[in-house]
Structure 1
Amino acid sequence: MSDPASSQNVHAVRRREDGRFLVGRGRYVSDLPLAPALHVAIARSPHAHARIVRVDADAARGRPGVRGVFLLRDLPELRGALPPPVVPAVSVQPYRQSALAGEVVRFAGEPVAAVVADDAYHASDAADALRIDYDPLPAVVDPEQAVAPDAPCVHESWGTNVAAGVSLETGDVDAALARAHLVTTRRFRCGRVTALPLEPRAVAARWDPVAAELHVWSSTQMPYAVRQRIADALGLPVARVRVVAPDVGGGFGTKGPVYPEDLIVAALARRLGVAVRWTDTRRDSFVSTAHAGDQVHTATLALDRDGRILALVDDFLIDAGAYLPRGAVVANVTATHLVGLYRVPAFRCRGRIVVTHKVPGAPYRGAGRTQAVFVAERLMDIAARELGVDPVELRRRNLIAADRMPYTRDLPYRDGMPIVHDSGDYPKLLDTALAQAGYTAFRERQRLARRDGRLLGIGLAAYNEATGIGPHEGADVAIDAAGAVRVTVGVPSQGQGHETTLAQICAARLGVPPGAVSVVGGDTARFPASNGTYASRVTVVVGNAVARAADAVAERIRRLAARAFECDLADVVIEDGRAHVRGAPEPAMDLAALHAFSLRPDVVRDLGEPGLGATRYHSPDSVTWASGVHVATVEVDRDTGAVTLLSYHAVHDAGHEINPLIVAGQTQGGAVQGIGMALSEEIVYDETGQAVTGTLMDYALSRADSVPGIDVASVDSPSPLNPLGVKGTGEGSAVPGPAAIVNAVADALGGHVELTRIPLRAETVLAALRR
């Protein structure tokens, strides 16, 4: 149950982390003072699919500053060291990826050799001097071609390119289709994207031969997973491997996998007995860091005469690239988010994850929800036009009503639990978004613009997001002898504001200002276990663990104060960093005095233990469901097809907001990434498996001058599933943008156009105009 009292001292405070970032004092992997350290450069395959015939390293070894050239045969512990992770919802065909390719390469960019030198420049030059002979093999780079019977197999032992699949069904789909008044079917294509965080990936490692321990620093979202993979590969107990994720300059899901470079650098550090480091380059990151998106859907929406949804059917493919470093979670996430905020009596979905000779894929902010919402919300707009009703009205007729909460679907989520929308007011979300966007006034503005030959459009998209997935997270709250409060957690931050939000949660429970609480995370030596930062889960799972630990410490303070003041436990008040008796501010004991009091032998004897600290865990039964509605307005240039985004409005329900300022920042940032996926971002491959948009010259990220101000509002429905009443908010705002923007462009063109692909390019719009 939600605890309203937890909201004290919870408000919009500025992120404490920003001070050091703004003045260049961030602690990133590449900034760590590890001198003397050797540098690693990776020689990567230029071919999408080929046999390695011969490697001549003589010229590279003779370059200045080079300390060694290493192939898989030199580091045999890296063979098969990267199997796919086990995911409850969807099993994956077995394989074992080697951190360095040994005999066959399966994507352009796959690591083949590691060069170690005195500095990064010498290492890079030597990597370029390697002479590697390849025997090119046929490549498959399109997911639909990959499932053809005669397609080359990425992994020959499978005999297929289908790595995993998901199949979901509820209700009588065939009967619903048979009695439908309108059945709308379309094919949708969603482009391949990547995250490109400001900080490229980096890893450093140092071997301690005396202690036989390995210390690794990685710009990762999941340091404990990195630790486990390194320990497994090197045959070390996990207790002998320490992984630290210091400041991480953005992750967005693409820093979630364990990468070959994590293992390569760790193995080299142990082999050479010195510190070793590697930092990705922006050029290489396009072929070394995970991609995402790249889905093909054939979807059908069936409605009755009144516009009520009868059935939704979808058959989709996900192009995973050559390997699945995060398993097949995206398939289930895509499938279960197709139904969105609507009542869907009958639903059938088949999703297949296929492998191709491309850079491996992994979840990226939204993790399959963006594509699901694009398909479902485009179908809603298309069906509304065919039925002759306003797209807003069609949605209103089908939204789940607030009085139906909690709303259960006969579908399993990726954690294996039934989907239950725990709380929310979806009609209010819609109404708030329309009001924020000035929907009615815009329609009049649109009508007047058309008289002048200008094409304006407005579009919306509704979404929900399963957040706060388990299985568990923990937190330790401790007060030291000086009265300083420290929160220690396992999860690292990549810009989400953990140091601020978790401090606020703790401070509210201990009666101290948030600035009096420090937060430490992302270090496997400081906390015993953690799953990582992903899936909009930290505030939900870690935040509630912090609340539980802080509550335990507050109870300890009350017991100590009650003994010291010889009063009842219920009469102790904790505020402003002091404990006193209710109604009598003096005498009081501050936290330092309480800590000292807790060490007295008689107090330890009577109350059981010294000190002021507690460790607690939060293990949610299942996820909480955040939701939102985004509205975009656009103008389309008749002569060029160029789309100008005029305004963007985001309304969300993140439950009880610990820090509305941080929530708004997450919403704005996610919306900008959604805008990029809608209009400009795509990694395009040619038929040989070469990425032809492999630099920032041709991979068009959204820029400040192409994005309007993001208008943010909230409609909060606290979750009943956790004490804080919170829902996740990290990913959701990236989800609805493509659907809302493409719906707006279709509206500008009159609605009767086939816009079923993202990104939506000017030439596509121009062709639609000319039709």
Structure 2
Amino acid sequence: MSNFIGKNVRRKEDHRLLSGNGEFVADIKMADSHEAAFLRSTHAHAKIKKIDTTQAKELEGVAAVLTGNDIKGLIEPFKFFKEFGETPPNAEEINLMTQVASKELLASEKVLYVGHPIAVVVAENRYVAEDALELIEVDYEPLPAVVNPEKAVENDSPLVHENIKNNVHTSFEVVVGDFQKAASEADQVLQTEIKFPRIHCNPLETRGILSNYNRRRDELTVYTSTQIPFVVKNYLVSMLGLIEENVRVIAPDVGGGFGPKGGVYPEEILVSYLSIQLNKPVRWVEDRVEHLQATRHSRDQLHKVEVAFNDNGDILGLKDNYILDSGCMNYFNLTCAYNTAAHMRGLFKIPHYEANARIVLTNKTPNVPYRGAGRPEAVFTMDRVLYLVAEKLGMDMVDVIKKNLIRAEEMPYDQGFYYKDGGKVVYDSGNYPEALEKVLEISEYEKYKKVKEEKKDDTKSIGIGISSYVEGTGTGPFEGAVVKLDGSGKIIASAGASPQGQSHETTLAQIVADQFNVDPTDVLIRVGDTGALPHGAGTFASRSAVNAGSALYEASQIMKEKLLRLAADELSDTIDNVTLKDGEVKSKNGKSISFRKLAQLAKPIPLFKAKRNVEPDLEGTYYFFPPTVTYSSSFHVAVVEVDKKTGKFDIIDYSIVHDSGKIINPKIVEGQIQGGIAQGIGQSVYEELVYDENGQLISGTYMDYLLPTSMEIPKVRMDHQEYLSTRNPLGIKGVGEGGAISPPAALANAVSDALSPLTINLNQLPISPSNLRSLILKAEKNEKAKREGAVHEG
């Protein structure tokens, strides 16, 4: 029986964060701390002929100026993150082609995008550092910028990297069945093109790093706003030639990560290098313009799709040729593009499937995973295709969905190919038809269908859109945990996860508290610190509850057995006759002993009473290796009111049903989903990073890059399923990314439905008022031409 798992335990983090007592990188003060600032390229593509730092070095208050030439041969360039970019086990099967590009931490010969760092200045304060940047003179020789990914692959295109032919960094194919055969047998084949724009993650806190080197002890302590402190540590050790034991990386409070903080950045390496060279604390905190320009971007896919289907709504096959514009580097190899291929068919039975992907390099900021990581692009593509099929057949999209859903009795369901971790794509649990019926009920789907017909007029109209997804969550390769009993009697639980708002201090404490039958307030969670345990992975890919939770569960079992064995011996009883309750071990013979007393007995001091079969100190260590991912799933229904005269629309209702396996804390799950939906609405309606033909970012401030506010985000109706995963001891599936995946498709389908029977080609985001108004005018013009043509023929 669970006392706390599944309960709405109040968040431990709230008081600290809401009372202004959070500690972010910018809040940490150290004596004699210096500030760094980076000079960044103003060109998208150019040779560097000369860099003159003479005047900058002479400015009073400047401690150091570094260029790429100063570190050449000392620090190796970035290539890709081996933790996320290893060749998958099924490389031959998917006809994988990949090439290796490298990018200098500071450009010395050629810049590859606007924002590429060229030099770094360290000074006594940020003001002096910024002044020094203005004194650095750079002589550029501009080169043609590669901006359009479709043109980038043409034979006459300039190359971003001379060694990457046709600018195609990676390509692969996924084939299940025979699409051509399906197309030849189908009643109809539909073709369309779908585009998902380049966007930014926009966390509350930009990136920041504070490094402090202790020369006497040869120790480096780094505070950084990251999702992966253990990975950052590994790169610091390898790139700077440091002793692993002497490097500690801490992620303090982190104000959002969402994926782009899930990689290692040049600034983390360079600021640490400078701290070592100067033997001083060095800090760099990114400003918002730098953030939009230089923190890695996301999404940016173009799909050309064919779907084969019968007149009764059966989908026979799907073929997708798509390009991912990765900017000037592909740090994460297959991650986003393969996620798109792996999730395209979602919760549908589509027997014939072909995906051909190319990851293309351009002169833009590098592209990396962002909340959903290739899945929103897949779902937007698949659900727009389903809408178009329903429109073509004159059917309700819900009926098309029902025709093609995987049934509950078909679980576990094998999709016929392999995930990028080498495991087969097999959905282990879930009931999709039940989820659909639930979401139709809570969204009042039938009511809104009637309202739509009643309220239709020449200006405003109601539309209902639906979207669904299956999401591979809880990716490996592992997560570590250590659980120990402190001398105070409190339980200290450490994990390799690193939160940026996910409530780890609360949810992980609930898991551990249940194992020892204590209150979560008696469990101290330590995360985001490489000093807490030897090895960890981090927080990304909806993995913390699945992997850190499972590791803590198993570590708790190890420590609990030691605790019970010692207590049974002390109480003159057997281990089967003792139980845990409220910080004590109680025996059936009426005796009891406190956790605090047991902790003292287990210490290797004169009071040490443990027998040979109990190690000194009560602790358990466990590394959880998931066999493959767990599969969450969801349905979203959006209701909108569209003003045809302005192109503006309001979201008047939004409902979801979600299955994330065993729910640890319902309120926290709902908060995660609500936040994800807010980001999903942002990328549906407001957000787009736009480059001109010269590779200049023209939406690089919040004057041009729009974000939704709380006024634009509806309160979401939610219901949950709890179909337990078979791939971890708690039955958990991930939830962190889910809310962001379906809003683009649900809203696009709702707007299209509101404007029907007008045929709107709503296959490109964002659905801004100006974009939508242009599409309406174009569709009305086409309709008028058709009517006039029909009259003329008549």
Q: Which of 751, 761, 765 is the equivalent residue of 2:768?
A: 761
Matched, 1:225 2:231: yes
Task: Classify the secondary structure of the residue corresponding to 1:160.
Answer: helix
Worse overlay, 299-308 or 99-108: 299-308
1:183 equivalent in alignment to 2:189: yes
Q: Distance in 2 between matches of 1:134 and 1:507?
A: 60
Residues 32-84 of structure 1: CA deviation (Å, up to 9, x unaligned): 12221111000000000001112222332333422222111222356543111
Q: In the alignment, which residue of structure 2 is the partner of 1:590?
A: 594
TM-score, normalization: structure 1? Answer: 0.97
CA contact 1:292–1:362 (8 Å) conserved in 2: yes
| Cα shift at 1:612 | 1.7
Moved more, 615-624 or 82-91: 82-91
How is 1:147-166 mapped onto 2 (pairs within 5 angstroms)?
Answer: 147-166=153-172
1:331 positional shift: 1.1
Query: 1:348-383 CA deviation, whole Å, 9 max, x = no partner?
Result: 000111010000111000001000000000000110
- Matched residue type, 1:153: L
Identity, in percent, stands at 39
- C-alpha displacement at 1:8, in angstroms? 5.1
SS at match of 1:669: helix
2:651 is equivalent to residue 645 of structure 1: yes
Task: Provide Cα deviations, 1:383-435, integer angstroms capped at 9, x if missing partner.
Answer: 01111211001001111011111111211111021101010111111111111
Counting only pairs closer than 5 Å after superposition, residues 651-666 of structure 1 correspond to structure 2 as 651-666=657-672
Aligned to 2:784: none
The answer on whether the counterparts of 1:489 and 1:520 sit within 8 Å (CA) in structure 2 is: yes
Q: String of CA shifts for 1:110-138, please: whole Å, max 9, x gaps.
A: 00000111111111121123221111000
Greater Cα shift, 444-453 or 103-112: 444-453
SS of aligned partner of 1:187: strand
Offset at residue 150 of structure 1 (A): 0.9
User: How does 1:234-633 map onto structure 2 within 5 Å?
Assistant: 234-451=240-457, 453-582=459-588, 586-599=590-603, 603-633=609-639
1:667 corresponds to which residue?
A: 673
**Superimposed CA distance per residue, residues 115-174 of structure 1 (whole angstroms, 9 cap, x where no aligned partner):** 111111111121123221111000111111111111110001223200111210011211
3-state secondary structure, aligned to 2:611: helix
CA distance in 1, matches of 2:714, 2:4: 34
Asked whether the equivalents of residues 317 and 352 of structure 1 are also in contact (C-alpha less than 8 Å), the reply is: yes
Q: Distance in 1 between matches of 2:283 and 2:577?
A: 56
| Contact in 2 for aligned 1:674/1:737 (Cα 8 Å) | yes
**Which residue of 2 is the match for residue 26 of structure 1?**
22
Spell out, residue by residue over 1:154-211, the C-alpha distance to the aligned partner (whole angstroms, 9 max, x if none).
Answer: 0012232001112100112111110111211110111100101111100111122122
Kept in 1: contact 2:144–2:158 (CA 8 A): yes
> How far apart are 1:525 and its partner, in Å?
2.2
CA contact (8 A) 1:87 1:329 kept: no
1:112 is aligned, of 102, 111, 118, to 118
Report the equivalent of 1:44: 40
CA distance in 1, matches of 2:128, 2:769: 43
Contact kept, 8 Å, 2:147 with 2:363, in 1: the verdict is yes
Match of 2:790 in 1: none
The alpha-carbon deviation at position 239 of structure 1 amounts to 2.4
**Deviation of residue 728 (structure 1)?**
0.3
Secondary structure of 1:157's partner? coil
Q: Which deviates more, 155-164 or 72-81?
A: 72-81
SS at match of 1:682: coil
Instruction: State how far apart, in whole Å, the 1-side matches of 2:131 and 2:246 are.
Output: 34
Q: For 1:674-713, what aligned pairs fall within 5 Å after superposition?
A: 674-713=680-719
Question: How far apart, in 2, do the equivalents of 1:19 and 1:150 lie?
Answer: 59
The one-character-per-residue Cα deviations of 1:572-594 (angstroms, maximum 9, x if unpaired) are 12111211124x6x432121022
Distance in 2 separating the partners of 1:307 and 1:258: 47
Q: Conserved in 2, the CA contact under 8 Å of 1:320 and 1:356?
A: yes
Q: Write the distance in 1 (CA, Å) between the matches of 2:602 and 2:538.
A: 34
Partners of 2:351 and 2:118 in 1: CA distance: 51
Of residues 505-514 and 646-655 in structure 1, the stretch that sits farther from structure 2 once superposed is 646-655
* Counterpart Cα distance in 2 of 1:528 and 1:564: 32
Letter in 2 for 1:88: T
1:769 partner SS: helix
Q: Give secondary structure in 1 for the equivalent of 2:114.
A: coil
Q: Which residue of 1 aligns with 2:86?
A: 87
Q: Does the aligned pair in 1 maintain the 2:566–2:610 contact within 8 Å?
A: no
Which of 4, 8, 13 aligns to 1:12? It is: 8
Aligned counterpart, 2:783: none
Choose 457-466 or 153-162, whichever is displaced more: 153-162
- How far apart are residue 324 of structure 1 and its match? 1.9
Distance 1:366 1:495, change over 3 A: same
> 1:629-687 CA deviation, whole Å, 9 max, x = no partner?
11111111121111211121122100000111111010000010000111010000000
Instruction: Give distance in 2, aligned partners of 1:687 and 1:146.
Output: 12
Query: In terms of mean alpha carbon deviation, does 331-340 or 204-213 score higher?
Result: 204-213
When structure 1 is superposed on structure 2, of 740-749 and 137-146 the one drifting more is: 137-146
Q: Residues 16, 347 of structure 1: CA spacing in aligned structure 2 closer, same or farther, 3 A cutoff?
A: same
Distance 1:27 1:9, change over 3 A: same
RMSD: 1.6
SS state at 2:163 partner: helix
SS in 1 for 2:482: strand
Unmatched runs of 5 consecutive residues or more in structure 2: 89-95, 781-794
The residue aligned with 2:91 is none
State the secondary structure of the residue aligned to 2:31: coil
Q: Distance in 2 between matches of 1:202 and 1:487?
A: 27
Amino acid at match of 2:148: D
Say which SS state the counterpart of residue 358 (structure 2) adopts.
strand
CA distance in 2 between counterparts of 1:92 and 1:650 reads 39
Letter of the aligned partner of 1:769 in structure 2? I
> Within 2, Cα distance between the matches of 1:481 and 1:230?
34
In structure 1, the residue corresponding to 2:77 is in which secondary structure? coil
Contact 2:237 2:243 in 1 (8 A): yes
Paired residue secondary structure (1:371): helix
* SS across alignment from 1:318: strand
Paired amino acid for 2:776? L
1:77/1:234 contact within 8 Å kept: no
Shift of 1:452: 7.2
Amino acid of the structure 2 residue aligned with 1:711? R
CA distance, structure 1, for counterparts of residue 248 and residue 437 of structure 2: 50
Aligned to 1:58: 54
The structural deviation recorded for 1:7 is 6.5
Give the superposition deviation at 1:25. 1.1
Kindly state the Cα deviation for residue 238 of structure 1 after the two structures are TM-superposed: 2.3
SS in 2 for 1:416: coil
Distance 1:610 1:240, change over 3 A: closer
Contact 1:667 1:712 in 2 (8 A): no
- How far apart are residue 764 of structure 1 and its match? 2.7
Letter in 2 for 1:74: D
Q: Distance in 1 between matches of 2:248 and 2:607?
A: 36
Residues 169, 360 of structure 2: 8 Å contact kept: yes
Residue identity opposite 1:632 in structure 2: A
